[in-house]
Amino acid sequence: MTDSNDDVDLRERTVPAAPAQQPAADVGLSAPAAPDRRQPFELITRAKAQLQNLTGYGIDSVSGFERADSGWHLSVTVVELHRIPAATDVLASYEVDLDEVGNIISYHRGKRYFRDQVGDIL
């Protein structure tokens, strides 16, 4: 008895070429800025990596980003405890201050809550 899958063509298939990409300037990802004028994406990426290294927790999201007097301010959601089901993960909000080049100069953990919790604090 032969398996019906014996007739399946297992040769490598080619993927159609992706359409040409827009120039970086058109999509807001211009060439790296001078060290004193980093782009928001670069600042956020750098701050997320630093906060993860400092706290040891994974970053869930960045919910706020604004210019401050001495640099930048971020509002970040961190996963402090992964649980099953994921709706019961323990999250915390962190307020993070960055200098002009994106280095963390201070951070503070705010409220803690379950992922599926709305409005109440642990």
**Where are the domains positioned within the chain?**
58-117
pTM: 0.66
pLDDT in tens, 9-34: 433 443 344 444 444 433 333 444 45
Please state, rounded to an integer, the average pLDDT across all residues of the chain: 78
pLDDT band at 117 (very low <50, low <70, confident <90, very high): confident
Mean pLDDT over 51-74 rounds to: 95
Q: Are 38 and 65 in contact (CB under 8 A)?
A: no
Does the N-terminal peptide bond of residue 40 adopt cis geometry, omega within 30 degrees of 0?
Answer: no
Whether the per-residue pLDDT at 121 is higher than 60: the answer is no
